[in-house]
Structure 1
C-alpha cells in the first residue's frame, strides 16, 4: 500500500488522570508524540495533526488516544503512558497512514496497542434514502 494525501488526526484526552493523583498525562503525551513524529524523518508529520480534547470517556483507562482519518476506521486506545508508549504510537501512525480504510487486526498493531484497544469504529458512511421510500 502507498501513503496517500489523506489527512489524519491523533486526539489525546487531556482530562485523564492517574488514579489517586492529580497528574494529567495528556499534555505531556501530546508534546512527546509531536516531537517523536517530527523526529521520525518521514512524511507522517505532514499528514498527522495532533490535538487534545477535554474528555474521551476513557476515564478508567487513562490516558486515552484516538486515531482518525478521512474515510478510515477510527481507533481508541487506553492505558497509554507517555514514558513508555511513544514508539508504538509512532509506529501505529505510520501503519495507519498506509491503510486505505484504516482497518487492521489487533495482531498487526505494535506492542501494547494490541491489547489496549478500547474501540474500533468503522468509517462513517452517509446513507441517502429517496424520500418516497421513507413515506411508503
Structure 2
C-alpha cells in the first residue's frame, strides 16, 4: 500500500542509511553507481548528503544534475521510500554540518571523536542538496 505524503516524508526523515544511485554516464556500458550514504532530511525540505569534493559520486552527481535515494526497513513492517530529484546546490561542507550528520547516526559519545577524525582524514567535503521531485513508497505490512 502506498504511503501518504506525510507518512513518506516522516519515514524519510528517520535516520536510515540510504542507497544513493546516480547515472554512471558511460554510454550504457555501466549500471548506475549505487552506494550507501548517510543523509539529512526535514519534511517539506531538500535532502542533503555530504561526500568527498573529488569523489566519483560527487563528479557523477555534478555531471547528471540529479540522483536518487532509497531507504527501507523490514521491521515492524516492510516499508520503503524512494526519492529522486534535481541538485539545487553543491557547497563546501562545514564542520557543523558534519557534526549534525554524525549526531543523526551515531551515539552521542561517539560524535565528537568521529567528527575530529573525519574532518582531518576525509579531505575536503561538499554538501549536495537535492529537491525531491518524484517519490515511490510502500508499506507491505508484516508479510
TM > 0.5 fold call: no
Structure of higher CA gyration radius: 1
Report the TM-score, using the length of structure 1 for normalisation.
0.27
> By percentage of residues, which structure has more strand?
2
Report the TM-score, using the length of structure 2 for normalisation.
0.26
